[in-house]
Amino acid sequence: MRAFLASAIGVACTATLVLPTVATAAPAPANTAPPGSTQSLPLVPLVPDGRAAGTAPQGLTERDAKPFSLVGVVWDDAEAELHGTAQVRTRSTETGDWSGWQHLETHNHEHAPDSGTPEREAGNVRGSTAPLWVGASDGVEVRVRPEAPAAERAVALPSGLRLELVDPGDDPPAGTTTTAAEAADGADANADDSAAHAEAADDADDPRTTLLTAEDAAASAVNADLAPLGATEVPALTKAETEEQTFVRGGGKPLIGPRPRIVTRKGWGANEQLRERNFVYTKSVKAAFVHHSATGNNYSCSQADSVLRSIYRYHVKSSGWRDFGYNFAVDKCGNIYEGRAGGVAKPVLGAHTLGFNSRSTGIAVLGSYSKSNPPAAVVNAVARLTAWKLGLYGADPRAKTTLKSGGGNRFKKGTIVKLNVISGHRDGYVTDCPGGRLYSKLDETRDASARLQGR
């Protein structure tokens, strides 16, 4: 059966939201300076020993820096790969101690806008490592080494290597994220929890709900059918409430999971002046790709807002993307966050799975899960999110679907590919993402998501 999402949703899909009227407050001007900053430092040869151009290790020796919490390395050509290793060590502002050497994930170009899209062809996109969350720091050292050549010809590093040091800015007001126990309690607990947070959102003293720039208002208005203008979250609904607001063309009971609580961009403190103004959509959502952010697991859930603001700034200011790459994010406590702007119920075109950004949604679990097991709260959150999001478009989490490749290292451009409706990034591209430990949980996620839909 085919249908559409009504009102502000306005796209072809299987379910229609019939939503109650919500009160909205008129936006007030905000005069505060945009939070956060980025230091971009060019790398230099570390061993000027007469090697061929670009083949000597590059980096920066130990040095002081303005405060930052996330690091990454970028270079000029988005099509060039960094064949080698990138490592950083940082100094904690709290203890003054230096960390050991930490690796940056260099194979990151598969998280990017698709070739041929305006975002990719605008001339702003750069090559980049995955960013790494290091916590509050004020000193850094970096080294980038080309891989040992298999033949006599040396491997050159990409040109224009720079170290990016990202400060996420001030933390959001207290109360915008739940505890791990609250996040893991399921849809009913989330519905109860959301009511408490809704009361907090009505507090006139909270600047995140009363002060809106024009960009803030636009990013919030696309969710206005789901939450008041300027809300810090889209509240959870029970399954009955979700079904009541969902209409299936041709009749019948909708197969959709209860809407989970979703922290909005306003809730995690996104600076809406960073992104491009307009929103870009794809035609539908046929699949969900699960990722890990590869930013490391050394963060607390109370820091998740800061991690998101850092990744957002790195994606836009350092990597040259139009906005945050993923459509959604999930932290280790199971909190769900709105990612790329455009509306959580809408088919927003992301930059998460090179070759398969169209007709899909991308979900990034904050952390690195190649060697670490994802918490149960993460698996539950991905299941709850996909049960609702895919349910809006009539997609069965246990089923297969077909997508046309936009080009990548696993499938040539134009190839029609059969994929799981809930897939890991590695299903569409040769990559470790979402990490072997998280990938091994996807069958469990599919089953849980389907059960939540009532299948």
Higher pLDDT, 6 or 136: 136
Closest CA to 52 of 195, 120, 137, 149: 149
pLDDT band at 250 (very low <50, low <70, confident <90, very high): low
Residue 126 banded pLDDT, cuts 50, 70, 90: very high
Instruction: Judge whether residue 102 has pLDDT over 90.
Output: yes
* 312 contacts: CB under 8 Å, gap ≥ 6: 270, 271, 274, 323, 324
Which has the minimum average pLDDT: 7-11, 73-77, 307-311, 319-323?
Answer: 7-11
More confident residue, 353 or 23: 353
Please write the tens of the pLDDT for every residue from 291-337. 999 999 999 999 999 999 999 999 999 999 999 999 999 999 999 99
Give the type of residue at 31: N
Name the pLDDT band for 20 (thresholds 50, 70, 90): very low
| pLDDT, position 114 | 66
- CA-to-CA separations, 425 to 204, 277, 356, 364, 432, in angstroms, rounded: 42, 28, 9, 10, 8
**Residue 407 binned pLDDT confidence (cut-offs 50, 70, 90):** confident
Instruction: Give the pLDDT score at 188.
Output: 43
What CA–CA distance (Å, rounded) separates 356 from 112? 10
**pLDDT classification of 251: cutoffs 50, 70, 90:** low
The overall average pLDDT reported for the chain is 83
Percent of the chain with pLDDT over 70: 78
